[in-house]
Amino acid sequence: MKLKNGFVLREVAGSTVVVPTDAALNLNGMITLNETGKILWTALTDGADTDALVAALLAKYEVDEATAREGVNAFVDGLRKHGFLEE
């Protein structure tokens, strides 16, 4: 799984934001990510699959695998819904 090209992850005023760099992406504004979103977004830029995303959350947080997987699935579903992933 991989994010589409045309996004830049930046730290702005203590927040993590994703800014579209390609006008064809048809996104007005930017996306704000929390710490978990930043971890997942960064892993996706390297082409991580679902299991790798879950492993990244398990390494960072004290959560069980089912909770981590639920969070990953929700995040990925949101990205798919908005067309941010290469399929």
Domain ranges across the chain: 2-86
Residue 8 pLDDT grade (very low, low, confident, very high; cuts 50, 70, 90): confident
pLDDT at residue 76 is higher than 70: yes
What is the three-class DSSP state of 23?
A: helix
Q: What average pLDDT score do residues 66-82 get?
A: 95
Tokens 């908005």 label which residue?
A: 82
The DSSP bridge pattern shows strands 7-12 and 2-3 to be unpaired
Q: What is the pTM of this model?
A: 0.87
Three-class DSSP category at 66: helix
Whole-number Å distance between alpha carbons of 13 and 77: 28
Q: Any idea which fold 2-86 has?
A: Arc Repressor Mutant, subunit A (1.10.10)
- Is 70 exceeded by the pLDDT of residue 36? yes
Q: Residue 27: pLDDT band by 50, 70, 90 thresholds?
A: low
Percent of the residues in the chain that have a pLDDT greater than 90, as a whole number: 62
State the Cα–Cα distance between residues 52 and 55, nearest whole angstrom. 5
